[in-house]
Amino acid sequence: MSEQGVGRGRNVGGGRGAKLLAALEASRRPGEPSIVVEPPSDPTVSSEPSASRAPAGRGSALIQLLARRRVIGSTTSSPETASTAAQSSSSALTPVPSPISPSVVSQVSIESTSQVTSVVGNLNPVGRGAIARMQSLKLSSTTEVVTKQIQAQEQQKSQAISEKVYAKPILIHQENAPIVKKGEMGNKINVIANYVRVNIDPGKGIYEYEVSFYPSVDSKQIRFELLKQHREILGPAKTFDGVTLYLPYQFENTVTSFQSSHPATNEAVTVNIVLRQKRRAADSIHFYNVLIRKIARILGMVQMNRNYFNPNSPIIMPVEKLEVWPGYVTAINEFEDGLMLCCDVSFRVLRTTTVLDELVEMSKKGGYFHQTAQEVLIGLSVLTRYNNKMYRIDEILFDKNPQSTFDCQGEPMSYVDYYKKQYNIDIKDKGQPMLLNRLKKKMQGKEDETVLVCLVPELCYLTGLDDRLRKNFTIMRSLATHTKVAPMARVKALASYIDSVNNNERASSVLSQWGLSLAPMPLSIEGRVLEPERIFLSRSNFATNPQCDWSRNLGNDVLVAVKIESWILVYVDRQLNIAQDFSKTLLDVGSKMGIRINPPKMVALPNDRTDTYVNRIRDEINSSLQLVVAIFPTSRDDRYAAVKTLCTAQFAVPSQMINSKTVSNPTKLRSIVQKIALQINCKMGGELWAVSIPTKTLMVCGVDVYHDPTKRGQSVVGFIASVNPGLTRWFSRAKCQGPGVELVDSLKICFLESLKKYYEINHDYPKQIVLFRDGVGDGQLQFAAAHEATQFLSAFQSLVPPIEPKFTMVVVQKRINTRLFHSARDAINNPPPGTVVDHTVTRRDWWDFFLVSQFVTQGTVSPTHFIVVHDGGMKPDNLQKLAYKMTHMYYNWPGTVRVPAPCQYAHKLAYLIGESIRKEPQQQLSNRLYFL
């Protein structure tokens, strides 16, 4: 006997709807009445006793579920209400008191128990018989809503899915206002920055969509093909990774559906595209930079590391056997005044000699050829001109040659045949060894895969400069004429890049498809020039000149001179004359500057072996010895490190190492010895000069970290702090730490020691502290603000009693691509020292500024970037002025330096300990600048 209208074609009591009802009854909570709801009467069905009709269809099951919802919602107050609701007649459904959910499917999944789910599975819980019966009745408004939703569920495969089905909300980002902190001191000037404004068309942006497929498709390749069938609608500008789709525009509806055909089965597949968010510019920086790299390839440039260079316009240097490729460093980012492209000129130095040429030269010298080749070549980067790609030499395979074979698509092939077939290149030397490169390929969702690439030395050209070339003054001077670009030429190169992008149809379309365009000219902004500083000596003071160089003013005066009574001069006996001339000149120039130096004890050595120097100096060190000066006949790192370790880590004696070549020229001897005398005065605790510091309760600190490239994870922290009101005396600490040791722990210890030293000298703690932190990249700014600054602040509570000074932490970055130019009277020059830019091109979410502190005679000056990661309440003018003052206080150079003096001191200290000594120095030296 079949049941019509209620699940057509189903046996009485045997359909899935009946099972669903049984599960609902089994899941009834204690005290809940049984629900018996007859299906509504239908005039199209033959009149039989209602008792003989058991609800068997899925539609009836859905009605029961809705009735259960109505009963549960109406019986929470009293059981009488529940009883009344349970006795509803089959002629009509009482309207549900609470509003019905927009999605019936979601109601089923929420209100059914686990038993119900296990019975129903993934079946469509909509019975067509029930739908027919419900359509024939004069139902209440609530029931009509339910019916329409059931019909919408039935038509899901062929119609656009309602956006209410998707539970994920559209993300709406709240844009915070940019941080703006501008100073007012100084004279205003016109400045051109190497930034280009990136314009975004109205209504355009990067819209993120989530793409789903029905039926589901697991293959990413099939997903790409299904979406590609609608490229006419989606347009050429899109990025799709299999799940997330990025488009430069927004669809009219939140949910958009397309019908695709499965490429393998021809089955109809519904592609649903749901808007998730409009991405902020700050969240799309990586995407914008991908577009810029794509433009560089369109313009014919070749990527080397992270930058792109033009192989079609090389600068040939035949005498030096070098070749220079011009290129650009580009990066898009969001700044205080919007989205901008930073673009600077860059150069890549290539050698016209191949790796094979270098190997031949090494073999001619004899000795351990294999060992020498590995020491010189491993780690270098090479360029293969047949495909203009860069590779790193990871190993030299002396047991292989170009006639060796490898597996090429399942067949053995020699490297000779491969290069002839692929590039039409004939390899001449069949016996040369092969070079190995371990190329890491990134696999999405997997670990990086390592691919072994064998290279032929004959086809590999070396890139960059080695130590031999860097020590050749003639080559470096000739190279500087091409690589050190003047400001006018640099601005012209930037304008040329903008024109090449805007005038190239393919390049400009890459941007225009995403609603982007480059401004036609570089950015012009307003800068300020701070007043020149005055330098104070013991008997005089003077204003710095436009070049910020006062070396000629130090010949007769220093701020605080020391007296050296006991010191030794160690030299090789064959260089007695050099040692005597140096000693005599040192005493002469020292007396004129007020440094009283007694004649040294002359210590002659029979040879220049390292152990000879170390043993003899150890024998000479005693409690009264103030200084060790050693003259080396040649430059050797191991000897320098051994003597420095002896004097610094084993004993607490300041030392001065001198290369005999430096003091062997009589015409330059006096000027060189004068600089050595100034260094010795600092190492002995003296002071050379000072600047005006209005605040007398200020402490300035500097931090830098040296990372040992040979020992992974090893690092040295250099910490410097001023201990007097004039900021001329310094306390230093160096901490060696191994892998896994938190940097902030070492910094906190050093910081506490410096505070105690300050109190010991001044009988009070500083009221304001400014810490300049070097060596922090953009990706570490948040860590520095959240962890390092917090540790410094916690140090104040460790003192007894605790103190609460104003603490400001500033990150100093000198390896940046920003360039500033002074535009005046149709001429473009370097900005004068003291130029500050603190708006427009500064970071959106940080308080920062750029400072030009140096004067250069060749090329373009580089500004320094200061980023405040913890604000202690200083005014912008005061912090900028302090940073500029501190660039005058580096005693190893009578002029301004790029970074504040405490940063440079910390760098010198960390480098000396990490590179040469590799041990923590004696604490007795912490009050002296022994590391200069």
Task: Let me know: does 920 contact 729? Beta carbons within 8 Å.
Answer: no
The label of the residue with tokens 């006996």 reads: 573
pLDDT at 737: 80
Q: Could you tell me the CATH number of the domain that includes residue 375?
A: 2.170.260.10
Same domain, residue pair 30 and 43: yes
pLDDT at 242: 87
d(Cα 121, Cα 127) in Å, to the nearest integer?
15
Same domain, residue pair 867 and 735: yes
Task: Let me know: does 311 contact 299? Beta carbons within 8 Å.
Answer: no
Q: In the structure encoding, which two tokens stand for residue 877, read together?
A: 């003018």
Residue 787 annotated to the active site: no
Query: What's the number of domains the chain is made of?
Result: 6
Same domain, residue pair 918 and 811: yes
| 829 belongs to a structural domain | yes
Same domain, residue pair 450 and 384: yes
Q: Could you tell me the CATH number of the domain that includes residue 650?
A: 3.40.50.2300
Task: Let me know: does 885 contact 694? Beta carbons within 8 Å.
Answer: no
* Longest distance between any two alpha carbons in the chain, whole Å: 132
Summarize pLDDT for 636-695 with one digit per residue, the tens: 889 999 999 999 999 999 999 999 999 999 999 999 999 999 999 999 999 999 999 999
Report phi then psi at 30, rounded to 5.
Answer: -60, 135
| 690 belongs to a structural domain | no
Same domain, residue pair 30 and 143: yes
Return the H-helix or E-strand segment holding 86: helix 79-86
Q: How far is CA 859 from CA 345, 485, 489, 829, 830, in A?
A: 12, 5, 10, 10, 9
| 479 belongs to a structural domain | no
Report phi then psi at 428, rounded to 5.
Answer: -85, -50
Catalytic residue among 822, 839, 888, 907: 907
Q: In the structure encoding, which two tokens stand for residue 813, read together?
A: 């970055």
Q: In the structure encoding, which two tokens stand for residue 742, read together?
A: 């938190």
Report phi then psi at 502, rounded to 5.
Answer: -70, -30
Same domain, residue pair 410 and 336: no
Same domain, residue pair 594 and 740: no
The whole-number mean pLDDT for each consecutive block of 10 residues of the chain, a chain of 932 residues, reads: 40 54 59 48 40 48 53 41 38 36 35 38 43 43 49 45 48 74 94 95 88 90 92 88 90 91 91 90 87 92 87 87 91 92 92 90 83 86 88 90 88 91 90 89 64 91 82 86 91 94 93 92 95 93 93 88 94 94 94 92 94 95 94 92 94 94 91 94 94 94 84 81 95 83 76 94 95 88 86 89 93 94 90 96 94 92 95 94 97 95 95 90 93 92
Same domain, residue pair 780 and 881: yes
Cβ count within 10 A of residue 264: 9
| 182 belongs to a structural domain | no
pLDDT at 451: 84
Percentage of the residues of the chain whose pLDDT score is greater than 70 = 79
Summarize pLDDT for 372-430 with one digit per residue, the tens: 888 888 888 898 988 888 898 999 999 999 999 988 888 899 999 999 998 899 999 99
| 392 belongs to a structural domain | yes
CA nearest 704: which of 676, 746, 643?
Answer: 746
Final residue of a domain: which of 654, 683, 712?
683
d(Cα 433, Cα 218) in Å, to the nearest integer?
46
Residue 573 annotated to the active site: no
Summarize pLDDT for 434-484 with one digit per residue, the tens: 999 988 766 555 566 788 889 999 999 988 887 778 888 888 888 888 889
3-state secondary structure (DSSP) of residue 611: helix
d(Cα 900, Cα 759) in Å, to the nearest integer?
23
739: containing domain: 698-925
3-state secondary structure (DSSP) of residue 232: helix
Q: In the structure encoding, which two tokens stand for residue 409, read together?
A: 């698509």
Residue 344 annotated to the active site: no
Same domain, residue pair 151 and 256: no
pLDDT at 651: 94
Angle of helix 355-365 relative to helix 369-377, nearest 10 degrees, comes to 140
Report phi then psi at 353, rounded to 5.
Answer: -95, 150
Task: Let me know: does 856 contact 819? Beta carbons within 8 Å.
Answer: no
Angle made by CA atoms 442, 448, 453, in degrees to the nearest 5: 85
Same domain, residue pair 203 and 293: no
d(Cα 920, Cα 750) in Å, to the nearest integer?
13
Catalytic residue among 358, 774, 788, 848: 774
Same domain, residue pair 87 and 102: yes
pLDDT at 812: 95
pLDDT at 258: 92
| 330 belongs to a structural domain | yes
Final residue of a domain: which of 217, 244, 279?
279
Catalytic residue among 704, 788, 838, 877: 704
Catalytic residue among 742, 760, 764, 804: 742
d(Cα 907, Cα 718) in Å, to the nearest integer?
7
Residue 838 annotated to the active site: no
| 633 belongs to a structural domain | yes
| 664 belongs to a structural domain | yes
Q: In the structure encoding, which two tokens stand for residue 766, read together?
A: 């500083």
Question: β-pairing, 864-870 with 405-408?
Answer: unpaired
Final residue of a domain: which of 649, 683, 717?
683
pLDDT at 469: 81
Q: Could you tell me the CATH number of the domain that includes residue 209?
A: 3.30.70
Same domain, residue pair 823 and 915: yes
Say which residues have a Cβ less than 8 Å from residue 533's Cβ, sequence separation at least 6. 543, 544, 691, 692, 884, 885, 888
Angle made by CA atoms 145, 146, 152, in degrees to the nearest 5: 90
Q: Could you tell me the CATH number of the domain that includes residue 821?
A: 3.30.420.10
pLDDT at 707: 82
pLDDT at 173: 62
- Between the CA atoms of 520, 522, 526 and 529, what dihedral angle is there, to the nearest 10 degrees? -160
Angle made by CA atoms 30, 33, 39, in degrees to the nearest 5: 135
pTM (2 d.p.) = 0.78
